[in-house]
Structure 1
Amino acid sequence: MFVLTIDQQGSRVVGDRVEAFLAVLEGSTDPQPAAGTLSASARRFAPPVRDFERTVGDEVQAVFDDPTAVVDLVLRVLRHGGWSVGIGAGPVELPLPESTRAGAGPAFVLAREAVEAAKSRVRTVPLAVRGRDATAALDAEALLVLTAAVAARRSAEGWQVVDLLDDLGPEARQDDVAARLDISQQAVSKRLRAALWAEELAARPAAGRLLERAEAREHD
Structure 2
Amino acid sequence: MFVMTVDQRGSRRDVDRVADVLRSPRPALVRPFERTAGDEIQAVVDTADTVLDVALDLVDDGHWSVGIGIGPVEHPLPDSTRAGRGAAFESAREAVESAKSAPARIAVRGVDADSAADADAVLALLAVLVARRTDQGRDAIAALRRLGSQNAVAEELSITPQAVSQRLAVAGWHLERAARPVVARMLATADRLAEKEVP
The answer, yes or no, to whether TM exceeds 0.5 is yes
Is the CA contact 2:66–2:96 (under 8 Å) kept in the aligned structure 1? Answer: yes
How high is the TM-score relative to the length of structure 2?
0.90
Report the AA paired with residue 3 of structure 2. Answer: V
**1:10-159 to 2 correspondence within 5 Å?**
10-23=10-23, 25-26=24-25, 43=26, 47-120=28-101, 123-159=102-138
Q: TM-score, length-normalised on structure 1?
A: 0.82
Residue 175 (str. 1) matches residue 156 (str. 2): no
| 1:179-218 matched pairs, under 5 angstroms | 179-217=155-193
SS in 1 for 2:7: strand
How far apart are 1:109 and its partner, in Å?
0.8
What SS does the corresponding residue of 1:96 show, helix, strand or coil? coil
| 1:86-135 deviation per Cα after TM superposition (whole angstroms, max 9, x unaligned) | 10011111111111111111111111111111123xx2221110112212
Aligned-residue sequence identity (percent) comes to 52
Relative distance call for 1:10 and 1:140 in structure 2 (3 A) is same
* Number of residue pairs aligned between Structure 1 and Structure 2: 196
Structure 2 SS opposite 1:55: strand
Which digits, 9 at most, give the CA deviation of each residue in 1:40-99, with x for residues without a partner? xxx5xx520011101122110000011111111111111122211110011111111111
Q: Which residue number corresponds to residue 162 of structure 1?
A: 141
Q: Which letter maps to 2:196?
A: H
What SS does the aligned partner of 1:12 have?
Answer: helix
Give the RMSD, CA atoms, in angstroms: 1.7
Q: Is the 8 A contact 1:130 1:214 kept in 2?
A: no
Task: Give unpaired runs (5+ residues) of structure 1.
Answer: 27-42
